[in-house]
């Protein structure tokens, strides 16, 4: 079955392929998308800010367009310039990657209005799921369990009394772990509502909030889904993402070491049901919190995710190529029963940060670089020796992904690969990953979303 599926997956080309794709992003994800285009023989157009002239995605693309008058930090958010670049270069499709405009419904609609194919779900699906409190309501309608709470902040105090403290205040437009506050009592809740609103207005331009009960020590487990324009929706199993700092993932693995086959099946089924509810096309992720055998929907990310290679490695399915095919009008190339589920995969985010100094960003020049290789090792990164990491963007500079038949073998392989990884000139999260690989809780698979911060506090 495995080989059969891979063979079918390997049959490239076809009637509807996009003729050229503009990649509206930078860094490792831009390179990842360019690679998928090139394997499908679709020319890829890179865009770059003034700070990114020497970036690897520019070197690897078939064409590149400068979009970046200073301030460099804003170039990849300039919808107008991106669409203009796509039109100028005769690109048919636009791939947004993750971050920046990836979950911006107006950008997806603007692409469509300009006659371009947005490589992602419809603007309507992004709109529906992009607002986290509206998504919660849709989940309830689809009979997908949600964390006890309320979609409105107007009745926050009342709801908190009902569900009991501690509670979590969340920005409806939030993402990347921001716009979230915890309150232990009424006084803290009043303050949390004020602070979260300000933070959300500043970060997302929109301050509406909602409330959830704070779960203590849940796991974060998410399901990868993929849909096409004929209404087919499949899942590609789950990813365990409980190793987090400041509510941001630091390493991910699949399968989840903490769920039973029954929970896996129910959760995957719920994710597919929700995706169908919004006529979801392209790749997406339905995130859940898990406590024991109970799982609760928290949000849907309507884009390719940072940790998608974990699923690609586990299943052998190239999610980005599948996005490109589906956007070109093709049907999903796999049926649910043909999705392989084989072995164990782990991803380690390599951030240019100093774990010794409270994860302070550590941009600068890579003075020496030796990248790991060998069996079961994949590195998705956009750095090279001599490259200067600009200070304007996200600090994640690469990802190490390993695969092995068992979890134990994957852990040993990851240790070996991280030892091979020599990256000098900047500080990175590699030492933290080395430490986690020796950590008893991690090795046993019994860790939750609060675990890493507890561990760091012990220092």
Q: Which residues are catalytic?
A: 303
Q: CB nearer to Mg ion: give 277 or 287.
A: 287
DSSP β-bridge partners for residue 350: 398
302 counts as binding ligand ADP under rule CB under 6 A = no
State the Cα–Cα distance between residues 119 and 281, nearest whole angstrom. Answer: 10
353 touching ligand ADP, by CB under 6 A:
no
Q: Hey, which bits of 172-321 come out as E strands?
A: 180-183, 209-213, 219-227, 233-245, 248-254, 282-291, 294-301
Residues 6+ apart with CB under 8 A from 59: none
* Interface pattern 308-347 for ligand ADP (x via CB under 6 A): ----------------------------------------
Pick one of 128, 220, 325, 433: the residue that binds ligand ADP (CB under 6 A): 220
Residue 362 binding ligand ADP, by CB under 6 A: no
When asked if residue 227 is in the footprint of ligand ADP (CB under 6 A), the reply is no
Smallest gap from Cβ 102 to ligand ADP, in A, equals: 7
Rounded Cα distance between 38 and 323, Å, is 14
- Establish if 284 lies at the interface with ligand ADP (CB under 6 A): no
Query: Least separation, in Å, of the C-beta of 270 and Mg ion?
Result: 16
Tally the C-alpha atoms within 13 A of residue 191's C-alpha that lie toward its C-beta. 7
Residue 136 interacts with, from Mg ion, ligand ADP, none (CB under 5-8 Å by kind): none
Q: Is 246 in the site for ligand ADP (CB under 6 A)?
A: no
Which residue, among 444, 442, 448, has the nearest Cα to 215 in the 3D structure?
448
Give the nearest residue (CB) to ligand ADP: 175
In angstroms, the CA 270 to CA 142 distance is 8
Classify residue 391 by its DSSP letter: T
Q: Name the DSSP class of 303.
A: S
Residue 219 lies near ligand ADP (rule: CB under 6 A): no
The item of Mg ion, ligand ADP, none sharing an interface with residue 215, based on CB under 5 to 8 Å by kind, is ligand ADP
Q: Does 99 bind ligand ADP (CB under 6 A)?
A: yes
Q: Chain centroid to CA 75: how far? A: 21
127, 228, 253, 287: residue in contact with ligand ADP (rule CB under 6 A): 287
Q: How many CB atoms lie within 10 A of CB 70?
A: 11
Residues in region 152-181 near ligand ADP by CB under 6 A: 168, 170, 174-177
- Tell me how far apart the alpha carbons of residues 29 and 449 are, in angstroms, rounded to a whole number: 25
Please say whether the beta carbons of 103 and 175 come within 8 A: yes
Residue bearing tokens 């600068």: 364
Residue whose CB is less far from ligand ADP, 174 or 255: 174
Per CB under 6 A, 376 contacts ligand ADP: no
Give 284: exposed, middle or buried? Use CB within 10 Å, 0-12, 13-18, 19+.
Answer: buried
Q: How far apart are CA 4 and CA 233, in angstroms?
A: 20
Looking at residues 278 to 307 of the shown chain, list those that interact with Mg ion (rule: CB under 5 A).
287
Question: CB of residue 375 vs ligand ADP: minimum separation in angstroms?
Answer: 27
Residue 256 or 428: the one with the smaller Cβ distance to Mg ion is 256
Helix-helix angle 319-327:308-315, to 10 degrees: 100
Contact with ligand ADP (CB under 6 A): which of 127, 212, 277, 318? Answer: 212
User: Could you list the residues that contact Mg ion (CB under 5 A)?
Assistant: 287
User: Could you list the residues that contact ligand ADP (CB under 6 A)?
Assistant: 98-99, 147, 168, 170, 174-177, 204, 212, 214-215, 218, 220, 244, 247-249, 287, 289, 298-299, 301, 305-307, 394, 449
């Amino acid at each position: 079955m495995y080989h059969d599926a891979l063979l079918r997956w390997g049959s490239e080309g076809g009637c509807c392929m996009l003729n050229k794709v503009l990649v509206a992003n930078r860094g490792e994800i831009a390179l990842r998308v360019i690679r998928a285009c090139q394997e499908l023989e679709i020319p890829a157009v890179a865009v770059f800010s003034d700070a990114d002239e020497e970036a690897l995605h520019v070197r690897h693309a078939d064409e590149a367009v400068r979009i970046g008058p200073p301030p460099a930090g804003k170039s990849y958010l300039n919808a107008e310039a991106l669409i203009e670049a796509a039109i100028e270069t005769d690109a048919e499709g636009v791939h947004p990657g993750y971050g920046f405009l990836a979950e911006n419904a107006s950008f997806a609609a603007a692409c469509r209005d300009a006659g371009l194919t947005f490589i992602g779900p419809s603007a309507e699906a992004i709109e529906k799921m992009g607002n986290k409190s509206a998504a919660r309501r849709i989940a309830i309608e689809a009979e997908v369990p949600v964390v006890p709470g309320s979609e409105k902040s107007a009745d926050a105090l009342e709801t908190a009394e009902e569900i009991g403290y501690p509670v979590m205040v969340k920005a409806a437009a939030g993402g990347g772990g921001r716009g979230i506050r915890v309150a232990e009592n009424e006084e803290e809740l009043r303050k949390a509502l004020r602070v979260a609103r300000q933070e959300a207005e500043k970060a997302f331009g929109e301050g509406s909030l909602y409330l959830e009960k704070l779960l203590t020590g849940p796991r974060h487990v998410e399901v990868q889904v993929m849909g096409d324009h004929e209404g087919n929706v499949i899942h590609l199993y789950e990813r365990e993402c409980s190793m987090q700092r400041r509510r941001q993932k630091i390493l991910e693995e699949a399968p989840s070491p903490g769920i039973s086959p029954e929970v896996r099946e129910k959760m995957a089924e719920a994710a597919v049901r929700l995706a169908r509810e919004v006529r979801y096309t392209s790749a997406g992720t339905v995130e859940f919190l898990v406590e024991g055998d109970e799982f609760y929907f928290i949000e849907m990310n309507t884009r390719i995710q940072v940790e998608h290679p974990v699923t690609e490695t586990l299943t052998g399915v190239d999610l980005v190529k599948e996005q490109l095919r589906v956007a070109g009008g093709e049907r999903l190339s796999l049926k649910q029963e043909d999705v392989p589920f084989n072995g164990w995969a782990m991803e380690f985010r390599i951030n240019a940060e100093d774990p010794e100094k409270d994860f302070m960003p550590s941009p600068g020049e890579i003075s020496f670089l030796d990248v790991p290789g060998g069996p079961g090792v994949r590195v998705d990164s956009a750095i090279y020796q001599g490259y200067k990491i600009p200070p304007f963007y996200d600090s994640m500079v690469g990802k190490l992904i390993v695969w092995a038949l068992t979890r134990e073998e994957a852990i040993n392989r990851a240790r070996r690969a991280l030892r091979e990884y020599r990256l000098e000139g900047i500080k990175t999260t590699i030492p933290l990953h080395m430490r986690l690989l020796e950590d008893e809780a991690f090795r046993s698979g019994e860790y939750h979303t609060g675990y890493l911060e507890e561990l760091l506090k012990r220092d």
